[in-house]
Amino acid sequence: MAWEAYNLDQIAHDLVFEHCNKGAHNQAYKMRTAASYGLERFWGEQLRLYDKKKKVYYPTAASNYWADTWQRFCQLLAPSGIILPDDQVEPTNREAIKSITDKLWTFDQKQRKVALAVLIQLCDCMVWWSQRYKPAKSDNDMEGDEDE
Protein backbone atom coordinates (compact mmCIF):
# COMPACT_ATOMS: atom_id res chain seq x y z
CA MET A 1 0.00 0.00 0.00
CA ALA A 2 1.45 3.36 -1.03
CA TRP A 3 1.16 6.48 1.07
CA GLU A 4 -1.35 8.99 -0.26
CA ALA A 5 -1.39 12.64 0.73
CA TYR A 6 -4.98 13.76 0.87
CA ASN A 7 -4.08 17.42 1.33
CA LEU A 8 -6.54 17.85 4.20
CA ASP A 9 -4.77 20.98 5.40
CA GLN A 10 -4.90 22.58 1.96
CA ILE A 11 -8.57 21.69 1.50
CA ALA A 12 -9.32 23.07 4.97
CA HIS A 13 -7.41 26.26 4.20
CA ASP A 14 -9.25 26.78 0.93
CA LEU A 15 -12.65 26.27 2.55
CA VAL A 16 -11.90 28.62 5.45
CA PHE A 17 -10.33 31.24 3.19
CA GLU A 18 -13.34 31.17 0.87
CA HIS A 19 -15.86 31.57 3.69
CA CYS A 20 -14.02 33.58 6.36
CA ASN A 21 -15.28 36.98 5.17
CA LYS A 22 -18.86 35.87 4.58
CA GLY A 23 -19.96 35.93 8.22
CA ALA A 24 -19.50 32.22 8.84
CA HIS A 25 -16.01 32.08 10.33
CA ASN A 26 -17.18 30.45 13.59
CA GLN A 27 -18.88 27.56 11.80
CA ALA A 28 -15.69 25.44 11.73
CA TYR A 29 -15.91 24.98 15.50
CA LYS A 30 -19.51 23.84 15.17
CA MET A 31 -18.55 21.49 12.33
CA ARG A 32 -15.91 19.85 14.50
CA THR A 33 -18.49 19.25 17.23
CA ALA A 34 -21.10 17.93 14.77
CA ALA A 35 -18.59 15.54 13.19
CA SER A 36 -18.43 13.66 16.49
CA TYR A 37 -22.15 12.90 16.23
CA GLY A 38 -21.94 11.18 12.86
CA LEU A 39 -22.20 11.66 9.12
CA GLU A 40 -25.98 12.03 9.16
CA ARG A 41 -26.00 14.94 11.58
CA PHE A 42 -23.07 16.64 9.89
CA TRP A 43 -24.77 16.40 6.50
CA GLY A 44 -28.14 17.58 7.84
CA GLU A 45 -26.80 20.70 9.51
CA GLN A 46 -26.61 22.54 6.19
CA LEU A 47 -30.39 22.21 5.87
CA ARG A 48 -31.06 23.47 9.39
CA LEU A 49 -29.09 26.63 8.71
CA TYR A 50 -31.26 27.81 5.83
CA ASP A 51 -33.20 31.01 6.53
CA LYS A 52 -36.97 30.63 6.29
CA LYS A 53 -38.87 33.72 5.23
CA LYS A 54 -42.52 33.54 4.28
CA LYS A 55 -42.44 29.79 3.62
CA VAL A 56 -39.44 30.14 1.32
CA TYR A 57 -35.99 28.89 2.33
CA TYR A 58 -32.91 30.92 1.50
CA PRO A 59 -29.35 29.67 1.83
CA THR A 60 -27.24 31.52 4.38
CA ALA A 61 -23.49 32.01 4.59
CA ALA A 62 -23.41 29.26 7.21
CA SER A 63 -25.51 26.78 5.20
CA ASN A 64 -23.33 27.39 2.13
CA TYR A 65 -20.18 26.80 4.19
CA TRP A 66 -21.52 23.48 5.50
CA ALA A 67 -22.68 22.42 2.02
CA ASP A 68 -19.32 23.31 0.45
CA THR A 69 -17.50 21.41 3.19
CA TRP A 70 -19.67 18.32 2.61
CA GLN A 71 -19.08 18.50 -1.17
CA ARG A 72 -15.29 18.76 -0.76
CA PHE A 73 -15.36 15.95 1.81
CA CYS A 74 -17.24 13.69 -0.64
CA GLN A 75 -14.79 14.56 -3.44
CA LEU A 76 -11.87 13.85 -1.12
CA LEU A 77 -13.09 10.36 -0.24
CA ALA A 78 -14.26 9.29 -3.72
CA PRO A 79 -10.82 8.16 -5.03
CA SER A 80 -10.53 5.78 -2.06
CA GLY A 81 -13.79 4.07 -3.03
CA ILE A 82 -15.82 5.64 -0.23
CA ILE A 83 -18.77 7.15 -2.05
CA LEU A 84 -21.03 9.38 0.02
CA PRO A 85 -24.27 10.93 -1.23
CA ASP A 86 -23.50 14.47 -2.34
CA ASP A 87 -26.75 15.50 -4.00
CA GLN A 88 -27.84 19.10 -3.56
CA VAL A 89 -31.09 18.99 -1.59
CA GLU A 90 -33.60 21.70 -0.79
CA PRO A 91 -34.81 21.77 2.84
CA THR A 92 -38.39 21.31 1.64
CA ASN A 93 -37.72 18.13 -0.36
CA ARG A 94 -38.53 15.56 2.32
CA GLU A 95 -38.20 12.56 -0.01
CA ALA A 96 -34.67 13.52 -1.05
CA ILE A 97 -33.70 14.18 2.57
CA LYS A 98 -35.06 10.79 3.63
CA SER A 99 -33.21 9.09 0.77
CA ILE A 100 -29.86 10.59 1.75
CA THR A 101 -30.26 9.96 5.47
CA ASP A 102 -31.25 6.35 4.74
CA LYS A 103 -28.09 5.94 2.64
CA LEU A 104 -25.96 7.40 5.42
CA TRP A 105 -27.59 5.28 8.15
CA THR A 106 -27.03 2.08 6.15
CA PHE A 107 -23.49 2.98 5.13
CA ASP A 108 -20.85 0.23 5.47
CA GLN A 109 -19.47 0.32 9.03
CA LYS A 110 -15.80 0.08 8.05
CA GLN A 111 -16.15 2.86 5.50
CA ARG A 112 -18.15 4.90 8.02
CA LYS A 113 -15.28 4.72 10.55
CA VAL A 114 -12.74 5.82 7.95
CA ALA A 115 -15.00 8.61 6.71
CA LEU A 116 -15.62 9.90 10.23
CA ALA A 117 -11.90 9.86 11.04
CA VAL A 118 -11.15 11.87 7.90
CA LEU A 119 -14.04 14.27 8.55
CA ILE A 120 -12.89 14.92 12.11
CA GLN A 121 -9.34 15.58 10.93
CA LEU A 122 -10.60 17.89 8.17
CA CYS A 123 -12.63 19.82 10.75
CA ASP A 124 -9.62 20.03 13.07
CA CYS A 125 -7.63 21.56 10.21
CA MET A 126 -10.48 23.98 9.51
CA VAL A 127 -10.55 25.07 13.15
CA TRP A 128 -6.81 25.74 13.00
CA TRP A 129 -7.16 27.87 9.86
CA SER A 130 -10.21 29.64 11.28
CA GLN A 131 -8.10 30.72 14.24
CA ARG A 132 -5.45 32.10 11.87
CA TYR A 133 -7.97 34.16 9.88
CA LYS A 134 -10.02 35.34 12.85
CA PRO A 135 -9.80 39.13 13.14
CA ALA A 136 -7.45 40.24 15.89
CA LYS A 137 -8.83 42.31 18.77
CA SER A 138 -5.99 44.79 18.30
CA ASP A 139 -2.52 44.91 16.83
CA ASN A 140 -0.89 44.58 20.26
CA ASP A 141 -3.00 42.04 22.12
CA MET A 142 -0.06 40.72 24.09
CA GLU A 143 2.14 42.74 26.38
CA GLY A 144 5.75 42.97 25.38
CA ASP A 145 5.33 42.14 21.71
CA GLU A 146 6.41 45.61 20.56
CA ASP A 147 10.02 44.41 20.24
CA GLU A 148 9.19 41.44 18.04
Residue 96: how many other CB atoms lie within 10 Å: 15
Cβ–Cβ < 8 Å for 137, 21: no
Cβ burial of 16 (10 Å; 0-12, 13-18, 19+) is buried
CA distances from 77 to 13, 72, 80, 114, 115 (A): 17, 9, 6, 9, 7
Q: Which helix (H) or strand (E) holds 76?
A: helix 61-77
> How many percent of the chain have pLDDT more than 70?
88
Q: Which of 36-40, 123-127, 137-141 has the lowest mean pLDDT?
A: 137-141
Average pLDDT over residues 25-29: 90
User: What are 83-127's pLDDT values in tens digits?
Assistant: 999 999 999 999 999 999 999 999 999 999 999 999 999 999 999
Can you tell me the mean pLDDT for 15-19? Answer: 95
pTM: 0.86
- Is the pLDDT assigned to residue 144 strictly greater than 50? no
Rounded to an integer, the average pLDDT of 2-8 is 70
